[in-house]
Amino acid sequence: MIKALILRRLWLLRHRLTSTLPLIIIIPICFHLFLSAVVKNIYTYSPNGIPIESWLFPGIIFSFGSLSMLTIIYRDLFSLQINSEFLKLLAISPNSKFKIISSILLSSLVECLIYGFISMLILTLLLPNPFSFLNYFTIICFLVIYLSLMCNLIISLSLLIRRVFIFLFSSIIILQLFFVSSNILFEYQIYSDVLNVIFFNNPFSMLLSDLRNFIFFNQFNFIWIIISITISICWLGLNSFLLKRKLKQ
């Protein structure tokens, strides 16, 4: 099932290349130019002395990946639930609910990583000092873990919510909260102590923080990586339960 979903996504990507490729190129560039212009009005370098263009790079990749994941899950899971025939097919599928959710997650990751890799290549041209190969590889590895969490979150929303407006509204609000609270624009020193506790003690924020600590300061921490992978696996189980309950309804 996983192989079939991946092949289907690659087929869709190939046949929608002319409409998809410009968006993959334009959106990250717009993100980069807009955010760089905004933040440069506040300071030229991050509080730790890193050029703003380089500091924003991982956050922009994570943000673009989040938006891509929302689009993919909406297209391939939420919108299809409007058609009852899709739910009937899932209900009679010989595959377990865990395997179905895992297949959706893995195939979505493949498509998102393709988008992320292309956006990384494009944005590298705008960096004052390109990263090393190890740093790019590390960004990809952290992106996989981050997108696994994001995919689980959006799948949960798609299984819990039935109305299109509520789903899109809730998803956009959540993404905006992550955008504000995950170090994409500012370091944690800018916020108050109370906001630091609220914003930064979660896997989404800590993954990006740990990634920047590694690529800019050579400081590596396994704790949040292990926590995030554990949460993602447990979340898969929860989404499997939600899918099973939805099919019974």
Show me where the domains of the chain are located. 2-248
Query: What's the burial of 173, exposed, middle or buried (CB within 10 Å: 0-12/13-18/19+)?
Result: exposed
Higher pLDDT residue, 12 or 150?
150
The pLDDT, as a whole number, for residue 36 is 73
Mean pLDDT of 100-115: 86
- Measure Cα distances from 10 to 61, 95, 110, 178 in Å: 21, 22, 9, 29
pLDDT at 243 over 70: yes
Read off the pLDDT band of 249 (50, 70, 90).
low
pLDDT at 3 over 90: no
Average pLDDT, whole number, for the chain? 79
Higher pLDDT residue, 212 or 94?
212
Dist. CA 92–CA 202, nearest whole Å = 37
pLDDT at 196 over 80: no
- Asked whether the beta carbons of 30 and 10 are under 8 A apart, the reply is no
pLDDT digits (tens, 9 = 90+) for 178-192: 776 656 655 555 566
The pLDDT, as a whole number, for residue 181 is 63
pTM (2 decimals)?
0.86
pLDDT at 167 over 80: yes
pLDDT at 147 over 90: yes
Sole residue written with tokens 């899918």: 243
Q: And the tokens for 120? A: 């990384």
pLDDT at 98 over 80: yes
Q: And the tokens for 160? A: 């819990």
Total residue count of the chain as it appears in this document: 249
Sole residue written with tokens 């599928």: 93
The pLDDT, as a whole number, for residue 52 is 78
Read off the pLDDT band of 198 (50, 70, 90).
low
